Amino acid sequence: MASEFFKFVDDHAESFINRLGEAVAIPSVSEGESHRPDVVRMGKWLHEKLTSKDIGVDAQLVELPDNLPPLVIGRVGNNPKLKTVLVYGHYDVQPADAKGWAEENPDAPDPFVLTRLPKDKPTKLYGRGSTDDKGPVTGWLNVFQAHKGRDLPVNVRFLFEGMEEQASPGLEQWIGEEVKKSDGLFAGVSCVCITDNYWLTTRRPTLTYGLRGIAAFSMEVTGAKSDLHSGIYGRMVHEPMTDLVKLLGKLVGTNGVITIPGIEEMVPPPTEQEKQEYRDIDYTVDDLVKDTGNHVELSEAPDELLMGRMRYPSLSIHGIDGGREGTIIPRQVTARFSIRLVEPQTPEKVEALVQDYLYDEFDKLGSRNIFKVNYELGALPWVGDKNDWNFNAANAATEAVYGSALVPNRVREGGTLPLALVFAQQVNKSVLLLPMGKSDDGAHSLSEKIDISNYINGTKLFGAYLYEIAKVKENGVVGNGCEV
C-alpha cells in the first residue's frame, strides 16, 4: 500500500540523503577524459547499491563500444499479468569549476560534497548532480529499497546511463538492437518514465509532454597569420572580431525572433485553442524574474513567455573564443550558437538555411578574411500525448503526494533530450517526463541544489506513480490495481 511506502520514506529520509551524498561525492563528469574513470566508478557504485542486501534487485553493467561508461540496467518483478514501466535516468554530471563554485557558494565550497543549507535549519542540498540527475536516480533506488521483500504493483525496467551530458553516444544504437530481442530489456514495456527535468515554477509540480530539438553551430573567422598590434595595424586590416560581431548581430532580434530567413516561417502560428492552453498554465512574470534574478523578460504576457520557451524556436549565442587581453587584434575568433527547434523543424532543414544565410551575409561584408560555419550536432523535437493514461496516472500520483490543490502543470519544455524521441519511436510506447526538482535548482550552474522536500517527496512521487499505473488501463479506465 502506498501509505506504508510513504511512511517508509519518511522514516528513512536521513539515510536517503546520505545515499545522495555518496553519489554526489563521485565526480562523474563526462566531458573530456580527465574524469572518465570517475564516471565508470559511478556506474559501478550504482550497480553495487542496486544489488546490495538493502535493495537487492536484478541489475547488470552493460559495456558500450569505445570505452564509454557502462549502462546500468535491470529488472524489478517479472509478472506477465502486470504492466511494465521503463524508467530512465543518468549518472554523469556537468563540469563544476572549483574556484567559481566556491566563490558562488562560500558555505558550500566543494561541488562534490553534498552540503545542507542553511546550516541552522537545512532545507536545501547543494552539490553537482544533486538535481541533475543523481537526486532522481537515487530516488529510484529509494523506491526499490522501500519495496524489498514485497512486490511492486507493476514490473519495472530501469536504464541508467553515464554519457547523457555528452549527447548519449552509442546509446541509440544499443536501444535499437536491444528492442529487437524477444527477451530484452524493453520486451513487454507498457510505458516510459524519464526523470531528468524540473518543475516549471517553484510552487507547482509539472508533467512534461514535449521537448524542443536542437541544431548547434560554430562559426570561425580567420585573418592574419598571427595576432596583431592594434596600434600598428588597426584600420589597415580586416579584423576577424569585427566580422564575427557583425554576423552575430544578424542572427536574432532583441525581441527573440530569429532573423535567418525561412526558420520562423517553418512553424505554423498557434491556434486560439493553443493560446488558451498556455494562458491556463500556472505561470507568472514573477516566476521568470525569480529564476533569472532580474527583469530581463521579453514580454509582460505569461502566455507569450511560455510559447517562447515551448512553442516557438529560439536562437542563443553561447560565447566567443579567441579574444585577447590588452589591445591585440586576434588572428582567429570563433563563436558558438544554437537553435532550439520545434515541429516540424529538423536539424537538416535548419542547417541548410543557416549555412546559406551566413555565407551570403559574410560575402556582403566585403572582408578578405576566411570564414567557416560548422554544424556541431542536432536532435529532433518531441511532442507526446499529454492526456493519455500514462499522464493521467502521473497526475493522480502527484495529487496523492502534493495534494489536490497542486494539480500539476502539463507542459512542453524548452530544453532537449533526444532520448525521449528515441524511446517514443523505438519502444513505441507512451513517454512521460516526471520531474523531481524545482525550476530554481540551477542544474548545470555554479549553485546546483535540490530542496530536501523535493528529494523526499520526489521519492514518494516515483513510488506513487507506479501504484497509479497499476490502477489505470491503457484506455484510461480505472482497473483493479493496488489502491493508493
**CB neighbours (10 Å) of residue 230?**
15
Q: Cell numbers of 129, please?
A: 548532480
Which residues does the annotation mark as catalytic? 92, 164
What phi, psi does 150 have (nearest 5°)? -145, 150
